[in-house]
Amino acid sequence: MATTVNSDLIIYDDLAQTAFLERRQDNLDVFNQASNGAIILDNELIEGDFRKRAFYQVGGSIESRDVNSTDPVTGKKIGAGESVSVKAPWKYGPYMTTEEAFKRRGRSVDEFSEVVGVDVADATLEGYIKYALQGAVAAIGANADMVVTADIATDGKKTLTRGLRKYGDKFNRVALFVMHSTTYFDIVDQAIDNKIYEEAGVVVYGGQPGTLGKPVLVTDTMDADAILGLVAGGVSVTESQAPGFRSYDINDQENLAIGYRAEGTVNVELLGYSWDTTAGGSNPDLTKIGTGANWKKHFTSNKSTAGVLIKLEAPESGE
């Protein structure tokens, strides 16, 4: 009986994978800190198409008690809910190049692996943010109780406080605003125009201009007509299977060439919302993740859910 061991195989220390891992770790460390914990990018092995977790629903409150009464009391039930995150597969490439293309530039072909390795790390980060934001906008947008409308030109900073009002006395739970760059600059411009004090060329603004002292994730993957206010842990994107990378020789073309491709899977999870396994099914693409009907709220209190959606609308004529 013979068993294959490492020495029987050719094992490559692939530069593409090394470059990916180095860049990915840098991206994750910076992003998780910069997002104030509202959007968490992580990795954990998760089996199956979904992650399902059951939890208790109580939501009780204290009541007055009559110390002089002997009346019987009626028992109350506790409920149960289910939190479901969905697994979404992704792919990258393939990218291909002839060896000649690099040799003619006096470059090592190894440089191709380094370039695509860094790029796939950046591409996956951007892709994960798209999954996070599409899911959050869809799920929160389908919950009318957590949607408000505003117009930056007339509401100014009140654009953001309209969203915070949905959390009432828990408004400090909102840890991050997410908006398109155009929206961000509109808010900052409005804050500059409405400066609260100016003397001798010195301008004092109330806190950080326009954002109420809260950090802002500015990304053009966000809808320009909406702002998200997310709580800590509002959205989690978990790399739920080990990503695969493959560099390969291409020997059936006129010139010798090499190719590179990658694939992986992430689980998208929203605080207080579950993926509807019937409506949304398994292995969704970005469009399905961004469909409100595929998410359902499972938390009783809206103040415990992922966040609030502020829809930006221009005022009607005559207002």
First vs last Cα of the chain: how many Å apart? 85
pLDDT of residue 83: 77
- 135 or 35: which leads in pLDDT: 135
For the ranges 68-82, 111-125, 247-261, the one whose mean pLDDT is highest: 247-261
Mean pLDDT of 93-108: 86
Q: Say how far apart CA 35 and CA 233 lie, in whole Å.
A: 10
Using a pLDDT cut of 70, give the percent of the chain over it. 76
Residue 6 has pLDDT above 50, yes or no: no
Look at 166 and 108; give whichever has higher pLDDT.
Answer: 166
Q: What is the DSSP string of 262-297?
A: EEEEEEEEETTEEE-TTTT-SS--HHHHT-GGGEEE
State residue 317's pLDDT score: 45
pLDDT value at position 215?
A: 84
Look over the chain and give the mean of its residue pLDDT values, rounded to a whole number: 80
Res. 205: pLDDT tops 50: no
Whole-angstrom Cα distance, residue 272 to residue 305?
4
| Inter-helix orientation angle 15-34/110-141, to 10° | 30
Task: Give the tens place of pLDDT for each residue, 239-286.
Answer: 888 888 888 889 999 999 989 898 999 999 999 999 999 999 999 999
Q: How confident is the model at residue 4 (pLDDT cuts 50, 70, 90)?
A: very low
User: How confident is the model over 154-201, as pLDDT tens digits?
Assistant: 887 788 889 999 998 888 899 999 988 888 888 877 665 555 444 444
Q: Exposed, middle or buried, 168 (CB in 10 Å: 0-12/13-18/19+)? A: exposed
What's the pLDDT at 237? Answer: 92
